[in-house]
Every structure is written in C-alpha cells, then in structure tokens.
Chain A
C-alpha cells in the first residue's frame, strides 16, 4: 500500500481508460500521456495497462507502506527517495516506510509513477482511471489517501536499467491531419494553424488544451449536428480559438473539427504546459 503524503497540484489514478463505451456518453479517459504510462509499467515489469499515479506539475510525495520497485516517467523532474536522488525512466527500489518525493518538472506537465504490482484502486466500468469530466473512477488524490498495490509474484523480472528519455522541446511541433470538418473553414485556416505559434491557455486540463493565437475563420455559417469526437481532435468554437481534446474529452461535440493530431503527437499534446508555445505541421 502507498499513502499520499502530498498530491502536488493535481494527482489522479490512471490506467488505459474506458474504451468501447463512448456511445453511452462515457469518455475514454485514462493516462493523458499513454506512452509514458506504458513505459512506466514496462520498467517495473507490470502489464502495460496497470494503473499508475498521474502527477500534474510534479510536487507529490508518497509513503510506501510496503517495499516495492517503482519508476517515474513522463515530464522529467527530480525524484528523491528518503532524500536520495533517483533518475526518471529507470526502476528504483523503495524500502518499507520509504518516502518518495517529486520536484517540479523543468519541461512537460505530467509525470507517471508506476509501482510494481500496479495500483489496485477500485474499478468503475472496467477502469481505475479518474475521469475529471464525468466524475467516474477514484477522486483526485488528497493527503492521507491510501492506495492498494497489487501482488507482484506473477510478474516478469525487471530487465531494463534505464529507458531513453523522450525529448521535450521548448516549442514542440505537433503533427496534424486535416480534420473531418476542415471544409467548414477558409483555405487560410489550415495555413494559419500550421504556421503561427499558439500559446497554451491556463484553463487547459485533462479535457483539452485551449490555445491562444490567431483565430481560425469559418467559411460557412450554421450549426453542425453533434458528432463523435476522437482524442486529438482540434475543435474550433465560435471564438475561432482551437481546443485540442485530451483523454477526458466529451464523447460528442457540435463544433467543427478543423484538424486531428496524428496519434503519435497526442502524448506530446498532453505534456503542454500553460504559457508554453506550440506549433502544428501537416
């Protein structure tokens, strides 16, 4: 069992979410940076879909009531166990009673703590993920919450010392594909989206990254009927300022989608922090 000493600005339990229920209005949810969650699990010998703790902007601290192997991936940040520095993207051992402390990431936003055996908080609709849009899954973590950890006896050996760290650029460039409603916009809109830098707005969250920058102009008026939305959809509300949907996005929406992130760029979008600039290219 691990106990939350301090959650930092926001910490939630996440696994690979609730696919297959979108037609019932259930968001996909799950780790915003799925790539980092999978890596964290592999590093400690867990199945890739085991639940981890997703820390937003670091700052968390956890007490281990049982000795365990653990790993931290995603936004790189200082990791200390009982006052001793540990690297990210590498498994490390925490003794019984040991305290893990996370600093603030220099780049990126979300870091993942995997514990060998996986976090075994209660499942809702097949997943342990906290969905901040619908309220499904465990509540965001608060000091004193104890998280159960699963058995590790059946797991494979830990075989990797350190994994290559993903590079997090000062101004990331995300790949986009024309969206299903790109024809609702002027020809300039796609050119604007893929040339001007956009700035990440402070009201971004796990639902979506809101962007400030040149507005995208529609070529037709009228209402689009509500339609299904995928993670990575770049939706454009009447303000013209794009919103990039992340894991907790609503399952349907009525604003046209001008472009969709290539799936390889979705984890990069999940690491954008407020105030940061981002560019898009096709």
Chain B
C-alpha cells in the first residue's frame, strides 16, 4: 500500500489491484472515521477525502493498521439485472467480434461482473468481467442521447446507463432495473464492489 497526497485535504491510496481497493473501501466505510468526508475507489486506488480540519498525517499513519475484510461484499448475492437484448448496436458488435448476434448475447449474459467504480454520471458503474471476445472500441461519434436503462459495452467494461445522457458505448439492449432514483436511499442500485449478473428477458 502506497499513500500519496492529493492536495491538502485528501489521500490517494494505491492498493495494487481492484479487489484490494474494494476491500479497503469496505473497511473505511465500516470504520467511519471522524473527519473522513468521501471514500472513492478507483481501478487500483482509494481516494480518501478528509475534512479540511482533519490531520492528514495521522489519517495516513492509521491506514496500514485498519482491519480489512476478506471479501468486500461479505458474500452478498449478485444483483440480477434483467435485459431485453434488442440494442441498436447488436449487429455491429456481432460484425466487429466475428460472433453471431446470439453468441454476443450469450457471452454478455453468462459472465459474472463486478462494479469496479462509479463515474461519468451518478449511478453509472463500470463493470469488469466482460468476456474478452466482446472488447470493442466505443463508437467513433458518441450519441447525443442514450436512453436510461441502456445496456452497453466499451473496451473491457460493461454498464447500464442509469439516466439519459450522451454516450459512445455500444448498445446491446435495455433494462427496466431502477439503476438510479434520487428519492431512494441509497439512490444507486450499484456500489463499488457490487456483483452483477445480466439475465436475458423475453420480449413481452
């Protein structure tokens, strides 16, 4: 673990890999240290944002002794996200990967995913675990509006757009799962570390 400074109110902790970042994130949330305002996992890091009055040196010194759980999710079952696979880019992804449409769907729906981190927009989780055969570049020109619930892939990641936004990911389908609801506590269905499975849904 390497602890870097991100200005005078935050520490950026390098954990070496994603699973360790999720474990440290879980431990920091559990510990709920006074003076810690935000804990933000990344691909191989955890950003710890402190209150301006907090003592960063003391915070940094306490980090290595923090008890870290063996499993960040405490053995929780994966979240199941139903998907209707009728996405606009399904044919193009099939062409780019050399797979059939059905095979693209089968591979997307059979993988076990983990939310690496959230970003881009509230509730937008970057999911790792995508079948390497489905790693395709994002569209050359992004769409100005992607509907909420769009199930998409880009590079090594899968995602579901939690709200309508511009976006350049390839659309495989759509889901009615409520990814984001500001009136719900917590507002996001996904958190860093959440395990996810996609479940194909028949058109009704």
Query: When A125-B187, A252-B42 are in contact, do A227 and B122 touch as well, CB less than 8 Å?
Result: no
B173 within 8 A of partner (CB): no
Question: Are the CB atoms of A180 and B4 closer together than 8 Å?
Answer: yes
Specify which chain A residues have a CB less than 8 angstroms from the CB of B121 in the assembled complex.
25, 133-134
Which of A23, A124, A125 contacts B40, CB < 8 Å? A23
Q: Which residues of A229-244 have CB atoms within 8 Å of chain B's CB atoms?
A: 229-230, 232-233
Query: When A23-B38, A180-B4, A262-B7 are in contact, do A228 and B25 touch as well, CB less than 8 Å?
Result: no
Query: Which residue, of A135, A180, A229, has the highest number of chain B Cβ atoms within 10 A?
Result: A180
Question: Are the CB atoms of A180 and B188 closer together than 8 Å?
Answer: no
Specify which chain B residues have a CB less than 8 angstroms from the CB of A125 in the assembled complex.
182, 187
Q: With contacts defined as CB atoms under 8 Å apart, how many contacts are there between chain A and chain B in the complex?
A: 120
Question: Are the CB atoms of B37 and A251 closer together than 8 Å?
Answer: no
Question: Are the CB atoms of B6 and A226 closer together than 8 Å?
Answer: no
Interface of A is mostly: loop
Question: Are the CB atoms of A20 and B122 closer together than 8 Å?
Answer: no
Query: When A22-B38, A23-B38 are in contact, do A252 and B118 touch as well, CB less than 8 Å?
Result: yes
Which of A19, A24, A232 contacts B118, CB < 8 Å? A24
B85 within 8 A of partner (CB): no
Query: When A125-B187, A179-B6, A180-B4 are in contact, do A228 and B118 touch as well, CB less than 8 Å?
Result: no
Question: Are the CB atoms of A251 and B118 closer together than 8 Å?
Answer: yes
Chain B positions 1 through 34: 1 when the CB is less than 8 Å from some CB of chain A, otherwise 0: 0001111111010000000000001000000000
Which residue numbers of A lie inside 8 Å of B, CB to CB?
19-26, 28, 124-125, 133-136, 177-180, 225-230, 232-233, 250-253, 257, 260-263
With contacts A22-B40, A24-B123, A227-B44 known, what are 17 further pairs, Cβ within 8 A? A20-B38, A23-B39, A23-B118, A25-B124, A25-B125, A134-B122, A177-B7, A226-B117, A227-B42, A228-B46, A229-B6, A230-B6, A250-B120, A252-B40, A252-B42, A253-B119, A260-B8
